[in-house]
Amino acid sequence: MQRRQVGACGLSVGRLGLGTMTWGGDTPPDVARTLLRDFVEAGGDLIDTAPAYGGGRAEELIGQYMRSDLRRDDLVIATKAGFGTHGGPQGIDTSRRALLDDLTDSLRRLRTDHIDLWQVHAWGDAPLDETLAAIDQAVNAGNVRYAGVCNFIGWQIGTAAAWQSAVPGRARLVSGQIEYSLLARRAEVEVLPALNHHGMGLLPWSPLGRGVLTGKYRRGVPRDSRGGRDHLSWFVEPYLDTRSRAVVDAVARAADGLSLSPAQVALLWVRDAPGVTAPLLGARTPEQLGELLDTEPYDLPATIVEALDDITGGPHQARSKGPIDK
């Protein structure tokens, strides 16, 4: 698998990442183990997780498999802090205490002494300088190598990144994670320009439009899909509208012409979009993951990219200005 630098920092990762949101829940441990092994065998190393995933179970599984199946050095572990129960109802808490408590628990569950990429899971109500001071403390202690943010909008990224770069010795933010796909291009308006300006890489989640771009919902909602499950149907429903169906139809037509699957076309569009470091794959089965990993030798023709741009919102402004360093 080809590698990319995360923004302007010294960390490099494979150009596809593996997401673990369903591990410990809809994805059983034996399947998670197979997914992790298949991903690493294909040259992948970026594993994205969080304390909130499976109530910590996703991190526990990764920690277990690093002892039984893989070496710690085989993986670039990206986890998060600031979203979870924290002893009460689930919610956002980006205070120094909550973040550092999350870090301590993540290190224990992952059975490691450091996190490669530690991310603030969401913008919170705690003073920003307190949140960012927790990152500095974790990096200075050696528990964290690099830091980033998740689900921040443009001005939030700019404010946080500028604060960290204002004083020598603060831990610079190197990445931002947000939803980005042919069905969700809002990141191009403010998030991508902010990341690019501050030398940060983009780690898109749901590059397949929450599974809708695979085409599996074209004739209804399969019972075994996320949309067919009561606890996840809310996640898929926003993309089951008329506009989304038109986009899925266009992706399917492109896939037919290229002898690829719709999922592969949708992933390739995101993978090679300007500013993207590594889309995070939320595959729930080895078959799904294998299909996506098989995209490694492929690139979409420029004419297909332009057509998909036009159908889903218009030209990609960064693309028209020339390539952004990955």
Q: Which residue has the tokens 């995360």?
A: 6
pTM value is 0.94
53 labelled catalytic: yes
CA angle, 33 as apex, 32 and 38 as ends, to 5°? 100
pLDDT computed for residue 320 by the predictor: 64
What phi, psi does 121 have (nearest 5°)?
A: -70, -25
SS3 204: strand
Listed in sequence order, the residues at least 6 apart from 81 whose beta carbon sits closer than 8 Å to its beta carbon are 51, 98, 99, 102, 103, 106, 118, 119, 120, 121
Q: How far apart are CA 125 and CA 196, in angstroms?
A: 26
246 belongs to a structural domain:
no
Total domains, the chain: 1
Range of the domain at 28: 3-209+276-297
User: Is there a contact between 181 and 251 (Cβ–Cβ < 8 Å)?
Assistant: no
| Alpha-carbon distance values, 203 to 41, 208, 221, 224, 245 (Å) | 21, 13, 28, 27, 25
CATH number of 81's domain: 3.20.20.100
For residue 159, being part of any structural domain is answered with yes
Q: Is residue 254 part of a domain?
A: no
Which residue from 141, 128, 64 is spatially nearest to 100, judged by alpha carbons? 141
pLDDT at site 86 = 63
Q: Tokens 């500013």, residue?
A: 275
pLDDT of residue 159: 98
Q: What is the mean pLDDT of each run of 10 residues along the chain (326 residues)?
A: 97 98 94 98 98 96 96 97 76 96 98 98 97 98 98 98 97 98 97 98 98 89 67 84 96 98 98 98 97 98 97 88 49
Q: Using DSSP, how many helices (H) and how many strands (E) does the chain show?
A: 12, 12
